[in-house]
Structure 1
């Protein structure tokens, strides 16, 4: 007989307190339940149940076996549920946390395509520039750029972006072009206002040393597109990811401020909470993004 069926019959008898109710619960005959339990006892060489005319109860050995058997049965049930879930059509509410710059410029334009492909999924996309706790704040996943701080999260790399200092030809004609990092102290820098370390840029020098630059500018704002617009207008030098400035650079609206510096490359990741399996809606969205960004980055945006 099937070992798992024997185990299930025994555990159901204990749960239901008798063979009759166990048979009703399992949808088989009482004699079939009895045969399964007897076969289990014979195979184990131990009596698992005390049988009287009035009641059935587990022996001491039977109670210990029941605890382990119930765990095995629960795990088997979860395994079945996992397979069913993974094969189910993706559906339900998908809550996503995305940095504002990336969400507005690269995610919003393609969301419609994803929703048409998966009509049973609805999306709640929250744009912000702070670090969110996925589980505590109820998010299914997030898009993050740069080093991943939380190693407990699962992550899939989607693509890469570079980060460079850029300014307009008009700005460089008016204020000159910096030749080295120290020259930035004499220039107008355009800053993100949501930087944890304030208006400080950490720039890789040709020697490999990471230098810090702190210089005031005409504008500090919490939006990358606004910084790009300011740079195009000639208000100063901005330090931005390539997915923001690539089109403006192709159009000649901005140029790299110090071309000789090492190029900083940042990974773009889909991150999601740890677990035994990935929800179909999350897996579908990550696969969709991976397809769309397959030939993007680090500078080809």
Structure 2
């Protein structure tokens, strides 16, 4: 089954509306010959004339009279659809579903959204927070923020910045229990564990020479959310591997101290990921641009992962 010749029916409706092939051609930005050929295609297709033409007059035939109302609706609906699509492209509107890690989302994504929503009153955001890896495609998400070393996948990923992770503790804890000089020294320390590390039962460190050390952390507390470790960490109950975006202020204020500064855990980064496919709706493009710009301005968001907090003097 062939589709109706919608373009030709729209041209026919414009001819009826203007009463002239020439005026219809001018309104549509087409040549008079193109308009005439479009009407001719319809007449051939339906097997009947739509107009009686004379040198001075253009009159609808019975077939033309029967078709003019439907053709006018085709033209009007087409113009309305195009206007709506154009307006949608120019002004972002609709729902964006965004997935982010729990603590990072609460601390650094949620505070950015009020300004974005104020700038785009026709856009709404459904923010989903979880430390578990979310299936963007299966979950119907438009954007995901992930802090990890990303595996290969069909998702489109944009690296925003390195995320430095550090082994930290309070100065009081370190004064009491001693400052480790090598990862092996952690065997006699209380280690607060994060369950969503790639290897939560093994902590890996590498020094500047590329030497690797692997230790088995032991302590009284383990959680599947890094923020849940913060009270015990700040109370001086042990050491923890924490990302800079969580502890930057504590490091600046001297409430926490980096341990084993010559050793680093495997590198990770903040990525913005989206499902495959183009084009993106304007609302998604707008939120991506906003998040990229704002997150890149964060003090811990060093592109090379070398940013150091400034220690505040008392």
TM over 0.5: yes
Q: Aligned pair in 2 of structure 1 residues 90, 176: CA closer, same or farther (>3 Å)? A: same
Secondary structure at 1:112 match in 2:
helix
Within the candidate set 2, 6, 9, 1:24 is matched to 9
Q: Does the aligned pair in 2 maintain the 1:140–1:273 contact within 8 Å?
A: yes
Cα distance between partner residues in 2 of 1:173 and 1:99: 33
Q: Aligned pair in 2 of structure 1 residues 53, 286: CA closer, same or farther (>3 Å)? A: closer
Within the candidate set 99, 113, 125, 2:101 is matched to 99
Query: How big is the alpha-carbon RMSD for the aligned residues of Structure 1 and Structure 2?
Result: 3.3
In the alignment, structure 1 residue 206 sits paired with structure 2 residue 208: yes
Q: CA deviation at 1:22?
A: 7.5
Could you list the per-position Cα deviations for residues 208-243 of structure 1 after superposition, in whole angstroms to 9, with x for gaps in the alignment?
244332121111012222223322211111001101
Could you list the per-position Cα deviations for residues 91-141 of structure 1 after superposition, in whole angstroms to 9, with x for gaps in the alignment?
111111111121111112222111111111111111111111111111111
1:221 paired residue number: 223
2:148 paired residue number: 146
Cα distance between partner residues in 1 of 2:256 and 2:46: 89
Q: How many residues align?
A: 253
Within the candidate set 154, 157, 160, 1:155 is matched to 157
1:64 paired residue number: none
Q: Aligned pair in 2 of structure 1 residues 33, 230: CA closer, same or farther (>3 Å)? A: same
Q: CA deviation at 1:25?
A: 5.0
In the alignment, structure 1 residue 130 sits paired with structure 2 residue 129: no
2:30 paired residue number: none
**Gapped regions of structure 1 (runs ≥ 5):** 1-10, 40-49, 55-79
TM (norm. structure 2) is 0.70
Q: Does the aligned pair in 1 maintain the 2:96–2:283 contact within 8 Å?
A: yes
Q: Aligned pair in 2 of structure 1 residues 52, 106: CA closer, same or farther (>3 Å)? A: closer
Could you list the per-position Cα deviations for residues 148-203 of structure 1 after superposition, in whole angstroms to 9, with x for gaps in the alignment?
22432122232332111001111111111110111111211111123453332222
Cα distance between partner residues in 1 of 2:131 and 2:271: 15
1:277 paired residue number: 279
Secondary structure at 1:216 match in 2:
coil
Q: CA deviation at 1:206?
A: 3.4
Cα distance between partner residues in 1 of 2:135 and 2:236: 38
**Gapped regions of structure 2 (runs ≥ 5):** 22-33, 49-81, 310-314
Within the candidate set 107, 111, 114, 2:116 is matched to 114
Q: Does the aligned pair in 1 maintain the 2:184–2:213 contact within 8 Å?
A: no
Q: Aligned pair in 2 of structure 1 residues 255, 51: CA closer, same or farther (>3 Å)? A: closer
2:268 paired residue number: 266
Cα distance between partner residues in 2 of 1:98 and 1:203: 26
Cα distance between partner residues in 2 of 1:183 and 1:35: 87
TM (norm. structure 1) is 0.72
In the alignment, structure 1 residue 15 sits paired with structure 2 residue 15: no
Cα distance between partner residues in 2 of 1:147 and 1:277: 27
